[in-house]
Amino acid sequence: MFRTHTCGELGLGDLNREVTLAGWVQTLRKFGSITFIDLRDRYGITQLVLDEAQNEAQANIPLGREFVIQATGTVSERSNKNLIIPTGEIEIRVKQITILNKSVTPPFTIQDETDGGEDLRMKFRFLDLRRNPIKRNIELRYAVNRAARNYLHLNQFMDIETPFLIKSTPEGARDFVVPSRMNPGQFYALPQSPQTFKQLLMVSGYDRYYQVVKCFRDEDLRADRQPEFTQIDCEMSFIEQEDILQMFEGMIRYIFKEVKGIDYTDTIEKMTWEDAMWDYGNDKPDIRFGMKISNLKSVFKRKGSAEADGFLINNAGFQVFDNAETVLAIAVPAAAAWSRKQFDELTDWVKRPQIGMQGLVNIRYNEDGSFKSSIDKFYSEDRLKAITGFVNAQKGDAILILSGKEEKTRKAISDLRLELGERMGLRKNDEFRLLWVIDFPLFEYSEEDNRWVARHHPFTAPKPDQIATMINNDPLIADATRYLRHPYADIKANAYDMVLNGNEIGGGSIRIYQRELQEKMFDALGMTREEANHKFGFLLGAFEYGAPPHGGIAFGFDRLCAILGGSESIRDFIAFPKNNSGRDVMLDAPATIDDKQLKELNISLLTSR
Amino acid sequence: MFRTHTCGELGLGDLNREVTLAGWVQTLRKFGSITFIDLRDRYGITQLVLDEAQNEAQANIPLGREFVIQATGTVSERSNKNLIIPTGEIEIRVKQITILNKSVTPPFTIQDETDGGEDLRMKFRFLDLRRNPIKRNIELRYAVNRAARNYLHLNQFMDIETPFLIKSTPEGARDFVVPSRMNPGQFYALPQSPQTFKQLLMVSGYDRYYQVVKCFRDEDLRADRQPEFTQIDCEMSFIEQEDILQMFEGMIRYIFKEVKGIDYTDTIEKMTWEDAMWDYGNDKPDIRFGMKISNLKSVFKRKGSAEADGFLINNAGFQVFDNAETVLAIAVPAAAAWSRKQFDELTDWVKRPQIGMQGLVNIRYNEDGSFKSSIDKFYSEDRLKAITGFVNAQKGDAILILSGKEEKTRKAISDLRLELGERMGLRKNDEFRLLWVIDFPLFEYSEEDNRWVARHHPFTAPKPDQIATMINNDPLIADATRYLRHPYADIKANAYDMVLNGNEIGGGSIRIYQRELQEKMFDALGMTREEANHKFGFLLGAFEYGAPPHGGIAFGFDRLCAILGGSESIRDFIAFPKNNSGRDVMLDAPATIDDKQLKELNISLLTSR
């Protein structure tokens, strides 16, 4: 050992002990003939003092920031105590210093607030990782990992490793593939998830499975997506949906307690997908704050009936609303008193191309009970009052209204709501609100192919009472314009997402475990029987040998850590992340490979380099 | 929940409770109007009894082996108790049975001893996994995983995930590569180990790292090698070799205790590589039994001197020994009384092509003190006695002698020793003997390229007192015939292997952490500076910014589990293994991929399918 103690553990109880520490020079301050060094390691910072004699002995050995040194000396009480850090009451009076390794000047400062830009920090990630904010993230990630494992272990789950070199079965996302040298012309695929394997493990009787596991998706990367990402992947047998929800609520509560010290004892609300879309405009509502959407007019049917037929706003001579497919409103608390400038800013905000609205209507419900609106000339005070009442606005609130095509407008008002929440400080990093979204549609309609696609994945079971609907109807969509009338359009899935602060942190479903139903699902997705057998024959086969009822869930581990760490960026919670082009700029990967390697793999490049 | 209890937990304490179980039909026995079912789940087996009425109700619902059923009934005492299983004192008097899923007849019996061959069991791995022996292996694997993690956690190690899509830097083993769609013509590589990343984490100050992590090597597969395998990968900073040995002895002791209930309190012997080769003929000796090799003649120098010059055997007129480069002997306890047939069998065994010896000489040191040998006519009783004394044989022992070229003969006698240990029952599955092998040579000589190759890997440090030898000498081998005289031939590495029962279960080293020394190492391996910078520039760069002294170890997790499970086959300890051609026969992977996929990846096949 190069040390007797770490830089985070010595205190007044250790006075006069002779100790040896090793670590990095964080700072170096000379006061006349005395030098102070802040020595840093993973565990903390300890102050070293070199007196006049030591300073002289050291004179010809230059020290600098980030040098790795070993220092032996005596623990002494500091005259000038620093009570912010645990070791701030003592210092080490140094008798000997050994330089273990030198450092050139780092390209950015190793401080909480660094002067290094994103690109530079990524290139020198090994230095960025030294900074406290990043180190805390990596430590938090480990704590979440450990807590999840402990909870799952306590609940009889077993970590079982599934293979990484598997078969390419692209559905939706693209696979990364790996050419096989020993099987020329053939390729492995890297798993997008261990889905089929965990289902096979249920067929094998393993009952409760988990894995903290890397998954791979070759997607065009949006901001904050990684080509490789980590899942907490779980599956259970002999359970129903409610059992899964309880088990994994328990896991998240356990993680909150262990990692954040938070007793999350609130009941976790269950919201149907339909309600989420209707009230929040998206399927992962941030329920840390209200401002639910009021549907003044909508083509979206709630529980099958057109509740919002527009009677409050139509036929007032305001063509914009009359012609709109959808008119949606939110009441913003205490916003009636906002300045003209504030409303104009918001109007500009919704007109940005990312949102793409034509304008933003407002109705101010003043404290004195009067109404003022940007559409005063079309709507009488009575009509404004009726709208205000419908939207449940209180005196002092302002109502913001967007109109246009259904999907775009709903997304826009959802974005506007979140933006307002942000501006009004209602989305606090240290407040956590969990939510289950349930009853997702089993299918979505693919206009491009005029067929169904699985909303979750092809292994998700329909609600038990809708299995017959699925089995007894032909999935073929005869009339594309009337696809919503097809019986499949109304089938709900036994699927669920866990949402934390407006982010989907986990999702799963009860699975199909009957061959007939699984084949019907593949039919519905437009797969021929041959295709289905080629891709998933092993699973269909397995279902013939006594597959138990089962279901599971997978948590996005990177995202979960980021949110628990109070950040929206997953990259800061991954030790060695890739950039938005899928590159590791530190390694400079991907890179070209030798022609010899290509030849061994029986492949060539289509375009030359 | 489909059950109130599992099939492994009910006993006499639960009498008269109404319970619901779910699981698989293991056996079905009809005695007249009564049916007995052994119901199986992950936790055990419980007997169900269907009385006459139930049997009648069930009459039209055929049940069979491996059907998944749910049964409700009352816990009753068995008249005919089975004390071998925990639930053997009770049975469930069934009131209702529901078939959850049917099963066709499995292709082999789901029994401890199955009638299924290897190929069939691999194709239907999900059924093979139901069998107890395999299930116990998977459970043991999880227990080892859990114990290792707990020990490392208790010792301040952090699990930090390293990337899977990295850069191809083939040294030795071949990389699996992954074409990048977003960076046409470029490839990621899958890691052969997280080696450079864990070193970077040390540079980042993380101090104690671990990971239970998949690694990948595209090698021609020998028996019992897998293209993807799992390592327990660890690294520490500010330590010396002895610190690592102690820390990881501790881990293995902890695993023994937690997983096997064994208090492994014996001191773990440290054996130099030289002694291992000299005394056991290989670098991973099985020390569960003796029969060390005696070197009658050898070109192998022990501690630099030719100890075995052949004086005991040369010049007796026996040309075979006179002309041999090496003559090696082992004394086999109580083998003097073996029959002629037994010696002949062993002679045939060493003559097999896998061993390739010309013959096997024996000297029997009889209980009456007389000597009898297959080379009587060349050697007088006195000379036989001298050899016997040198070999340390006791009365009643037989000495077996092999001769020939050094490397081949040493390997042959090592194999013979292990074979004898096997035949004599000295290699017990339930006896565990650990050993450290240390002081490996840093370099091996590559005849093909007339240059040095790293015995462990290019990041391994030489012994501290040999750093100067490495720095101050030119690695170039001017005269290939005299490579042993090159100063590099004698450099020992700060490297260590942990050996369990004749298997290397872990290996590691103290690492180079100085740029100059690392560059010298790359020079020695024949890498140009450009190559070194292209492949490992990030690491060389990192060494300039304050790299601490560090070292680590990696355990072969699959192998470790197999040995702890008393097996030599790692495949039985992997849920979904690949066969010797690297194929997953269950998935039928690798497989061809679509032309569209190839095109997107900017590659084409050299030979058509």
Q: How far apart are CA A533 and CA A543, in angstroms?
A: 13
Cβ contact, residue pair B606, A605, below 8 Å: no
CATH code linked to domain B12-101? 2.40.50.140
Cβ contact, residue pair B138, A206, below 8 Å: yes
B405 touches chain A (CB under 8 A): no
Residue holding tokens 């996994």?
B129
A588 touches chain B (CB under 8 A): yes
Confidence at residue B305, expressed as pLDDT on a 0 to 100 scale: 62
pLDDT tens sequence across A479-535 = 888 888 899 999 999 999 999 999 999 999 999 999 999 999 999 999 999 999 999
A289-427 matches A12-101 in CATH topology:
no
State the nearest Cα–Cα gap between A43 and chain B, in angstroms: 9
The residues near B27 (Cβ < 8 Å, ≥ 6 apart) are B36, B37, B38, B65
Confidence at residue B483, expressed as pLDDT on a 0 to 100 scale: 87
Query: Is B579 a residue whose pLDDT tops 60?
Result: yes
| Helix or strand (DSSP H, E) at B92 | strand B90-101
Mean pLDDT of B155-183: 92
Name the residue among B493, B492, B496 with its Cα closest to residue B553: B496
Query: Is B532 a residue whose pLDDT tops 80?
Result: yes
User: CB-CB: which of B43, B546, B606 is closest to A599?
Assistant: B606
A 8-67 near B (Cβ less than 8 A):
22-24, 40-43, 66-67
DSSP secondary structure of B474-499: ----S-GGGGGGSGGGGPBBSEEEEE
* Chain B neighbors of A538, CB-CB under 8 A: 126, 586-588
B173 touches chain A (CB under 8 A): no
Distances in Å between the Cα of A444 and the Cα atoms of A266, A391, A532, A566 are 33, 30, 20, 33
Report the share of chain B in percent with pLDDT over 90.
87
Cβ contact, residue pair B588, A538, below 8 Å: yes
* Chain B neighbors of A149, CB-CB under 8 A: 149
pLDDT tens sequence across B461-496 = 999 999 999 999 999 998 888 888 899 999 999 999
A 557-586 near B (Cβ less than 8 A):
574-576, 578, 581-584, 586
Q: For the whole model, what pTM was predicted?
A: 0.95
User: CB-CB: which of B100, B205, B584 is closest to A163?
Assistant: B584
CATH code linked to domain A289-427? 3.30.1360.30
What is the band of B304 on the pLDDT scale with cuts at 50, 70, 90?
low
> How many Cα atoms within 13 Å fall on the side-chain side of residue A305?
1
B68 touches chain A (CB under 8 A): yes
pLDDT tens sequence across A438-448 = 999 999 999 88
How many Å is the Cα radius of gyration of chain A? 30
State the nearest Cα–Cα gap between A496 and chain B, in angstroms: 17
Cβ contact, residue pair A514, B101, below 8 Å: yes
Which stretches within A473-528 are classed as H helix?
Answer: 515-524
Report the share of chain A in percent with pLDDT over 70.
98
Residue of B nearest to A182 (CA): B581
Distances in Å between the Cα of A355 and the Cα atoms of A276, A332, A427, A562, B127 are 20, 19, 20, 26, 53
Are the C-beta atoms of B444 and B451 separated by less than 8 Å? no
State the nearest Cα–Cα gap between B2 and chain A, in angstroms: 5
Confidence at residue A607, expressed as pLDDT on a 0 to 100 scale: 77
Q: Are strands B90-101 and B68-77 parallel, antiparallel or unpaired?
A: antiparallel
Cβ contact, residue pair B514, A101, below 8 Å: yes
B209-246 burial, b if ≥16 CB within 10 A, otherwise e?
bbbbbbbbbbbebeeebbbbbbbbbbbbbbbebeebbe
User: Six-digit token pair at B44?
Assistant: 């055990």
Mean pLDDT of A330-354: 96
Confidence at residue B306, expressed as pLDDT on a 0 to 100 scale: 55
> How many Cα atoms within 13 Å fall on the side-chain side of residue B440?
24
Cβ contact, residue pair B129, A163, below 8 Å: no
* Chain B neighbors of A243, CB-CB under 8 A: 1
Cβ contact, residue pair A545, B145, below 8 Å: no
* Chain B neighbors of A41, CB-CB under 8 A: 205, 207
Q: How far apart are CA B512 and CA B494, in angstroms?
A: 10
AA identity, residue A561: C
A311 touches chain B (CB under 8 A): no
Query: Is B609 a residue whose pLDDT tops 60?
Result: no
Are the C-beta atoms of A440 and A492 separated by less than 8 Å? yes
Name the residue among A343, A337, A327, A342 with its Cα closest to residue A390: A327
Query: Is B170 a residue whose pLDDT tops 90?
Result: no
What is the band of A386 on the pLDDT scale with cuts at 50, 70, 90?
very high
What is the band of B116 on the pLDDT scale with cuts at 50, 70, 90?
confident
User: Six-digit token pair at A159?
Assistant: 């970590």
Confidence at residue A309, expressed as pLDDT on a 0 to 100 scale: 81
Cβ contact, residue pair A181, B42, below 8 Å: no
Cβ contact, residue pair A101, B592, below 8 Å: no
Q: Who has greater pLDDT, A481 or B290?
A: B290
What is the band of A305 on the pLDDT scale with cuts at 50, 70, 90?
low
Report the share of chain A in percent with pLDDT over 90.
87
How many Å is the Cα radius of gyration of chain B? 30
What is the band of A376 on the pLDDT scale with cuts at 50, 70, 90?
very high
Confidence at residue A24, expressed as pLDDT on a 0 to 100 scale: 98
Mean pLDDT of A126-132: 97
Q: Who has greater pLDDT, B56 or A262?
A: A262
Confidence at residue A434, expressed as pLDDT on a 0 to 100 scale: 98
Confidence at residue B57, expressed as pLDDT on a 0 to 100 scale: 77
Query: Is A609 a residue whose pLDDT tops 60?
Result: no
Cβ contact, residue pair B167, A514, below 8 Å: no
Query: Is A306 a residue whose pLDDT tops 60?
Result: no
Domain boundaries along the sequence of chain B: 12-101, 289-427, 441-492+514-547
Confidence at residue A77, expressed as pLDDT on a 0 to 100 scale: 97
Cβ contact, residue pair A103, B185, below 8 Å: no
Confidence at residue A319, expressed as pLDDT on a 0 to 100 scale: 94
Confidence at residue A480, expressed as pLDDT on a 0 to 100 scale: 87
Return the SS3 of B363. Answer: strand
Q: Who has greater pLDDT, A349 or B608?
A: A349
Strand partners for A507: A497, A554
User: Six-digit token pair at B534?
Assistant: 């292209």
Asked which of A166-170, A258-262, A465-469, B524-528 is least confident by mean pLDDT, the reply is A166-170
